[in-house]
Protein backbone atom coordinates (compact mmCIF):
# COMPACT_ATOMS: atom_id res chain seq x y z
CA UNK A 1 0.00 0.00 0.00
CA UNK A 2 1.32 3.45 -0.80
CA UNK A 3 2.24 5.63 2.15
CA UNK A 4 0.82 9.14 2.59
CA UNK A 5 2.83 12.12 1.37
CA UNK A 6 4.93 14.07 3.80
CA UNK A 7 3.09 17.35 4.37
CA UNK A 8 5.49 20.30 4.59
CA UNK A 9 4.12 23.75 5.46
CA UNK A 10 6.05 26.81 4.26
CA UNK A 11 5.22 29.51 6.75
CA UNK A 12 6.34 33.09 7.33
CA UNK A 13 4.08 35.54 9.14
CA UNK A 14 5.75 38.60 7.64
CA UNK A 15 4.74 39.40 4.06
CA UNK A 16 7.26 39.12 1.25
CA UNK A 17 9.94 37.12 3.07
CA UNK A 18 10.13 34.50 0.31
CA UNK A 19 7.53 31.79 1.12
CA UNK A 20 6.22 31.36 -2.44
CA UNK A 21 9.67 31.59 -4.04
CA UNK A 22 10.98 28.95 -1.64
CA UNK A 23 7.88 26.73 -2.07
CA UNK A 24 8.20 26.74 -5.87
CA UNK A 25 11.95 26.17 -5.97
CA UNK A 26 12.04 23.66 -3.15
CA UNK A 27 9.33 21.72 -4.99
CA UNK A 28 11.60 21.56 -8.06
CA UNK A 29 14.62 20.63 -5.90
CA UNK A 30 12.66 17.73 -4.37
CA UNK A 31 11.77 16.39 -7.83
CA UNK A 32 15.48 16.58 -8.78
CA UNK A 33 16.10 14.14 -5.94
CA UNK A 34 13.55 11.76 -7.50
CA UNK A 35 10.50 12.68 -5.40
CA UNK A 36 6.99 13.28 -6.75
CA UNK A 37 5.70 16.56 -5.44
CA UNK A 38 2.43 18.47 -5.29
CA UNK A 39 2.87 22.16 -4.45
CA UNK A 40 -0.28 23.69 -3.14
CA UNK A 41 -1.15 27.37 -2.93
CA UNK A 42 -2.85 27.92 0.39
CA UNK A 43 -2.53 31.67 0.25
CA UNK A 44 -6.30 31.64 -0.19
CA UNK A 45 -7.35 35.09 -1.30
CA UNK A 46 -4.12 36.18 -3.01
CA UNK A 47 -2.87 33.06 -4.68
CA UNK A 48 0.19 33.46 -6.90
CA UNK A 49 2.25 30.26 -6.77
CA UNK A 50 1.28 29.33 -10.34
CA UNK A 51 2.67 32.66 -11.57
CA UNK A 52 6.19 31.67 -10.45
CA UNK A 53 5.87 28.72 -12.86
CA UNK A 54 4.74 31.00 -15.68
CA UNK A 55 1.22 29.54 -15.59
CA UNK A 56 -1.18 32.43 -16.23
CA UNK A 57 -4.23 30.77 -14.76
CA UNK A 58 -5.14 27.29 -13.56
CA UNK A 59 -8.30 25.57 -14.90
CA UNK A 60 -9.51 24.65 -11.42
CA UNK A 61 -8.53 25.84 -7.98
CA UNK A 62 -8.92 24.56 -4.46
CA UNK A 63 -12.21 26.52 -4.25
CA UNK A 64 -13.75 24.17 -6.79
CA UNK A 65 -13.02 21.24 -4.51
CA UNK A 66 -14.07 22.98 -1.30
CA UNK A 67 -17.34 24.13 -2.88
CA UNK A 68 -18.01 20.66 -4.35
CA UNK A 69 -17.84 21.92 -7.92
CA UNK A 70 -15.57 19.02 -8.91
CA UNK A 71 -16.03 15.38 -7.90
CA UNK A 72 -12.55 14.82 -6.47
CA UNK A 73 -9.38 16.57 -5.44
CA UNK A 74 -7.53 14.96 -8.35
CA UNK A 75 -9.51 17.30 -10.67
CA UNK A 76 -7.82 20.41 -9.28
CA UNK A 77 -4.27 19.05 -9.64
CA UNK A 78 -2.53 20.76 -12.53
CA UNK A 79 0.59 19.42 -14.26
CA UNK A 80 3.67 21.67 -14.65
CA UNK A 81 6.51 21.53 -17.18
CA UNK A 82 8.67 19.92 -14.48
CA UNK A 83 8.41 16.10 -14.49
CA UNK A 84 7.08 14.84 -11.16
CA UNK A 85 5.75 18.24 -10.08
CA UNK A 86 2.08 19.23 -10.00
CA UNK A 87 0.31 22.24 -8.57
CA UNK A 88 -2.94 22.96 -6.83
CA UNK A 89 -3.86 26.61 -7.37
CA UNK A 90 -5.34 28.63 -4.54
CA UNK A 91 -8.82 29.99 -4.77
CA UNK A 92 -10.27 33.43 -4.32
CA UNK A 93 -13.66 32.85 -2.76
CA UNK A 94 -14.05 35.08 0.32
CA UNK A 95 -14.81 33.06 3.44
CA UNK A 96 -12.83 30.02 2.41
CA UNK A 97 -9.75 31.77 3.78
CA UNK A 98 -11.04 31.01 7.28
CA UNK A 99 -11.96 27.34 7.33
CA UNK A 100 -12.84 25.87 10.73
CA UNK A 101 -10.16 23.59 12.24
CA UNK A 102 -12.03 20.35 11.52
CA UNK A 103 -12.47 21.26 7.84
CA UNK A 104 -8.74 21.80 7.58
CA UNK A 105 -8.07 18.41 9.12
CA UNK A 106 -10.56 16.91 6.65
CA UNK A 107 -8.93 18.72 3.74
CA UNK A 108 -5.52 17.40 4.72
CA UNK A 109 -6.97 13.90 5.00
CA UNK A 110 -8.08 14.18 1.35
CA UNK A 111 -4.72 15.61 0.40
CA UNK A 112 -3.04 12.68 2.11
CA UNK A 113 -4.56 10.44 -0.56
CA UNK A 114 -2.80 12.24 -3.42
CA UNK A 115 -0.29 10.09 -5.19
CA UNK A 116 2.95 11.91 -4.34
CA UNK A 117 5.87 11.84 -1.88
CA UNK A 118 5.73 15.47 -0.71
CA UNK A 119 2.90 17.90 -0.42
CA UNK A 120 4.26 21.43 -0.05
CA UNK A 121 1.88 24.04 1.34
CA UNK A 122 2.62 27.66 0.42
CA UNK A 123 0.83 29.54 3.17
CA UNK A 124 -0.34 33.13 3.54
CA UNK A 125 1.40 35.77 5.64
CA UNK A 126 -0.10 36.71 9.01
CA UNK A 127 -0.91 34.89 12.23
CA UNK A 128 -4.53 33.95 11.57
CA UNK A 129 -5.65 30.55 12.79
CA UNK A 130 -6.04 29.67 9.16
CA UNK A 131 -2.26 29.57 8.84
CA UNK A 132 -1.49 28.48 12.40
CA UNK A 133 -3.70 25.39 12.09
CA UNK A 134 -1.97 24.23 8.92
CA UNK A 135 1.37 24.71 10.70
CA UNK A 136 0.12 22.39 13.44
CA UNK A 137 -1.39 19.81 11.10
CA UNK A 138 1.64 19.58 8.75
CA UNK A 139 4.24 16.87 9.39
CA UNK A 140 7.00 19.42 9.12
CA UNK A 141 6.95 23.21 9.23
CA UNK A 142 9.49 25.41 7.50
CA UNK A 143 9.46 28.83 9.11
CA UNK A 144 10.71 31.51 6.75
CA UNK A 145 12.12 34.81 8.01
CA UNK A 146 14.51 37.45 6.75
CA UNK A 147 17.44 38.39 9.05
CA UNK A 148 15.90 41.71 10.23
CA UNK A 149 14.51 42.06 13.74
CA UNK A 150 10.84 42.82 12.77
CA UNK A 151 10.68 39.63 10.71
CA UNK A 152 12.42 37.55 13.40
CA UNK A 153 10.08 38.90 16.08
CA UNK A 154 6.96 38.29 14.02
CA UNK A 155 8.11 34.70 13.49
CA UNK A 156 8.64 34.25 17.22
CA UNK A 157 5.13 35.61 17.89
CA UNK A 158 3.76 33.19 15.33
CA UNK A 159 5.44 30.21 17.04
CA UNK A 160 4.07 31.42 20.37
CA UNK A 161 0.56 31.71 18.90
CA UNK A 162 0.91 28.18 17.49
CA UNK A 163 1.91 26.83 20.92
CA UNK A 164 -1.11 28.48 22.58
CA UNK A 165 -3.40 27.27 19.82
CA UNK A 166 -2.16 23.69 20.22
CA UNK A 167 -2.75 23.85 23.98
CA UNK A 168 -6.18 25.42 23.48
CA UNK A 169 -7.25 22.66 21.04
CA UNK A 170 -5.98 19.98 23.39
CA UNK A 171 -7.64 21.36 26.52
CA UNK A 172 -10.88 22.01 24.64
CA UNK A 173 -10.91 18.43 23.39
CA UNK A 174 -10.22 17.20 26.93
CA UNK A 175 -13.11 19.39 28.15
CA UNK A 176 -11.02 21.06 30.87
CA UNK A 177 -12.45 24.51 31.58
CA UNK A 178 -9.93 25.02 34.38
CA UNK A 179 -6.94 24.48 32.09
CA UNK A 180 -8.53 26.70 29.44
CA UNK A 181 -8.95 29.45 32.04
CA UNK A 182 -5.31 29.11 33.17
CA UNK A 183 -4.17 29.28 29.55
CA UNK A 184 -6.17 32.45 29.01
CA UNK A 185 -4.64 33.94 32.16
CA UNK A 186 -1.11 33.07 31.07
CA UNK A 187 -1.52 35.08 27.87
CA UNK A 188 -1.41 38.19 30.00
CA UNK A 189 1.86 37.61 31.80
CA UNK A 190 2.37 41.33 32.67
CA UNK A 191 -0.50 40.94 35.12
CA UNK A 192 0.46 37.37 36.02
CA UNK A 193 4.25 37.36 36.48
CA UNK A 194 4.06 33.86 38.00
CA UNK A 195 3.05 32.63 34.51
CA UNK A 196 5.86 34.23 32.57
CA UNK A 197 7.24 31.10 30.89
CA UNK A 198 5.73 27.87 29.61
CA UNK A 199 7.52 26.05 32.41
CA UNK A 200 5.65 28.27 34.93
CA UNK A 201 2.44 27.38 33.14
CA UNK A 202 3.13 23.64 33.31
CA UNK A 203 3.85 23.86 37.07
CA UNK A 204 0.37 25.33 37.69
CA UNK A 205 -1.34 23.16 35.07
CA UNK A 206 -0.01 19.98 36.72
CA UNK A 207 -1.80 20.97 39.92
CA UNK A 208 -5.07 21.09 37.96
CA UNK A 209 -4.64 17.92 35.86
CA UNK A 210 -1.26 16.16 35.69
CA UNK A 211 -2.38 13.67 33.00
CA UNK A 212 -3.60 16.23 30.46
CA UNK A 213 -0.62 18.46 31.23
CA UNK A 214 1.79 15.59 30.51
CA UNK A 215 -0.06 14.97 27.24
CA UNK A 216 0.26 18.68 26.34
CA UNK A 217 3.98 18.74 27.15
CA UNK A 218 4.53 15.65 25.02
CA UNK A 219 2.63 17.04 22.04
CA UNK A 220 4.55 20.32 22.17
CA UNK A 221 7.90 18.57 22.58
CA UNK A 222 7.26 17.05 19.14
CA UNK A 223 7.34 20.50 17.48
CA UNK A 224 10.53 20.47 15.49
CA UNK A 225 10.58 23.58 13.32
CA UNK A 226 13.06 24.21 10.59
CA UNK A 227 13.86 27.93 10.61
CA UNK A 228 14.90 29.25 7.22
CA UNK A 229 16.66 32.60 7.34
CA UNK A 230 16.26 33.91 3.79
CA UNK A 231 18.10 36.70 1.97
CA UNK A 232 21.21 36.28 4.09
CA UNK A 233 24.04 38.51 2.91
CA UNK A 234 26.96 37.75 5.21
CA UNK A 235 28.43 38.04 8.66
CA UNK A 236 25.94 38.76 11.44
CA UNK A 237 22.97 37.66 9.27
CA UNK A 238 24.16 34.07 9.60
CA UNK A 239 23.46 34.04 13.33
CA UNK A 240 20.14 35.86 13.33
CA UNK A 241 18.01 32.69 13.53
CA UNK A 242 19.53 31.96 16.94
CA UNK A 243 17.50 34.84 18.42
CA UNK A 244 14.32 32.84 17.81
CA UNK A 245 15.78 29.58 19.07
CA UNK A 246 16.89 31.26 22.29
CA UNK A 247 13.44 32.78 22.88
CA UNK A 248 11.78 29.44 22.10
CA UNK A 249 13.91 27.67 24.69
CA UNK A 250 13.66 30.36 27.35
CA UNK A 251 9.93 31.19 27.17
CA UNK A 252 8.18 28.35 25.37
CA UNK A 253 10.17 25.38 26.66
CA UNK A 254 10.77 24.28 23.04
CA UNK A 255 14.23 22.86 22.61
CA UNK A 256 14.13 21.27 19.17
CA UNK A 257 14.54 23.06 15.86
CA UNK A 258 17.19 23.63 13.25
CA UNK A 259 18.30 26.81 11.46
CA UNK A 260 19.35 26.89 7.80
CA UNK A 261 20.20 29.99 5.81
CA UNK A 262 19.34 30.87 2.24
CA UNK A 263 21.51 33.38 0.45
CA UNK A 264 20.40 36.65 -1.13
CA UNK A 265 20.79 36.03 -4.84
CA UNK A 266 20.20 38.31 -7.83
CA UNK A 267 19.41 35.19 -9.90
CA UNK A 268 16.08 34.98 -8.02
CA UNK A 269 15.03 38.40 -9.30
CA UNK A 270 15.97 37.67 -12.90
CA UNK A 271 14.17 34.32 -12.79
CA UNK A 272 11.07 36.04 -11.36
CA UNK A 273 11.13 38.51 -14.25
CA UNK A 274 11.11 35.54 -16.67
CA UNK A 275 8.28 33.91 -14.69
CA UNK A 276 10.29 30.78 -14.05
CA UNK A 277 11.69 29.25 -10.88
CA UNK A 278 15.41 29.94 -10.47
CA UNK A 279 15.93 26.17 -10.09
CA UNK A 280 15.13 26.03 -13.84
CA UNK A 281 16.81 29.22 -15.09
CA UNK A 282 19.98 28.98 -13.02
CA UNK A 283 20.36 25.58 -11.33
CA UNK A 284 23.92 26.31 -10.22
CA UNK A 285 23.06 29.60 -8.47
CA UNK A 286 23.59 30.04 -4.72
CA UNK A 287 19.81 30.07 -4.12
CA UNK A 288 19.36 26.82 -6.08
CA UNK A 289 22.18 25.18 -4.09
CA UNK A 290 20.47 26.22 -0.86
CA UNK A 291 17.18 24.68 -2.07
CA UNK A 292 18.96 21.38 -2.77
CA UNK A 293 20.42 21.47 0.74
CA UNK A 294 16.92 21.94 2.23
CA UNK A 295 15.49 19.15 0.03
CA UNK A 296 18.18 16.83 1.41
CA UNK A 297 17.38 17.99 4.92
CA UNK A 298 13.77 16.95 4.29
CA UNK A 299 14.98 13.48 3.41
CA UNK A 300 14.70 13.66 -0.39
CA UNK A 301 16.93 11.26 -2.29
CA UNK A 302 17.80 9.42 0.95
N1 LIG B 1 17.01 34.76 -1.51
C2 LIG B 1 16.49 35.72 -2.28
N3 LIG B 1 17.28 36.54 -3.01
C4 LIG B 1 16.73 37.55 -3.76
N5 LIG B 1 15.42 37.81 -3.85
C6 LIG B 1 14.57 37.04 -3.13
C7 LIG B 1 15.06 35.95 -2.32
N8 LIG B 1 13.98 35.36 -1.75
C9 LIG B 1 12.89 36.02 -2.19
N10 LIG B 1 13.21 37.03 -3.01
C11 LIG B 1 12.29 38.00 -3.65
O12 LIG B 1 11.45 38.54 -2.63
C13 LIG B 1 10.16 38.85 -3.14
C14 LIG B 1 9.07 38.25 -2.25
O15 LIG B 1 9.11 36.85 -2.36
P16 LIG B 1 7.81 35.93 -2.24
O17 LIG B 1 6.70 36.45 -3.08
O18 LIG B 1 8.27 34.54 -2.45
O19 LIG B 1 7.46 36.17 -0.70
P20 LIG B 1 6.20 35.65 0.11
O21 LIG B 1 6.68 35.44 1.51
O22 LIG B 1 5.57 34.51 -0.58
O23 LIG B 1 5.23 36.91 0.05
P24 LIG B 1 3.68 36.98 0.52
O25 LIG B 1 3.75 37.13 2.02
O26 LIG B 1 3.17 38.21 -0.15
O27 LIG B 1 3.01 35.71 0.09
C28 LIG B 1 10.13 38.32 -4.59
O29 LIG B 1 10.33 39.42 -5.45
C30 LIG B 1 11.32 37.36 -4.63
O31 LIG B 1 11.84 37.29 -5.94
MG1 LIG C 1 3.51 34.17 -1.17
- Topology, domain 6-145+265-297: Rossmann fold (3.40.50)
Tell whether ligand 1 has an atom less than 6 A from the beta carbon of residue 291.
no
* Number of the ligand 1 atom closest to the C-alpha atom of 21: 18
Q: Is 23 left (phi over 0), alpha (psi -120 to 50) or beta?
A: alpha
Work out whether the CA dihedral 218, 12, 27, 7 comes out positive or negative. Answer: positive
pTM value?
Answer: 0.94
Task: Give me the residue spans of the domains in the chain.
Answer: 6-145+265-297, 157-219
3-class state of residue 268 by DSSP? helix
CA dihedral 164, 202, 197, 10 (to 10 degrees): -30
Q: Which residues hold their Cβ within 5 A of ligand 2, which is an ion?
A: 19-20
Identify which of 227, 36, 46, 70 has the alpha carbon closest to the alpha carbon of residue 122: 46
Give residue 209's pLDDT band: very low, low, confident or very high (50, 70, 90).
Answer: very high
- Tens digit of each residue's pLDDT (9 = 90 or more) over 73-107: 889 999 999 999 999 998 777 666 678 888 888 88
**Which ligand is nearest to the Cα of residue 275, counting in written order?**
1
Residue 94's pLDDT is: 66
Residue 190's pLDDT is: 81
> What residue owns the CA closest to ligand 1's atom 11?
18
How far out from the chain centre does Cα 57 lie?
24
91 or 297, greater pLDDT: 297
Beta carbons of 146 and 17 less than 8 angstroms apart: yes
* Distance from Cα 234 to the centre of ligand 1, integer Å: 18
Give residue 141's pLDDT band: very low, low, confident or very high (50, 70, 90).
Answer: very high
Amino acid sequence: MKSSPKVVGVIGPKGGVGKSTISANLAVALTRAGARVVAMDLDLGSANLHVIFGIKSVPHTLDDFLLNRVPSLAEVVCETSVPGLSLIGGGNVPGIASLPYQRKVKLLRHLGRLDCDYLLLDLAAGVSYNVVDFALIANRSLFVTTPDIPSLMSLYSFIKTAVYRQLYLLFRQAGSDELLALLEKSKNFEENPDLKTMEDFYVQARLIDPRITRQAEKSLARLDPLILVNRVKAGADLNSGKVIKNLMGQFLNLHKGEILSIREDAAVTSAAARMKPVMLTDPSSAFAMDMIKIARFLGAGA
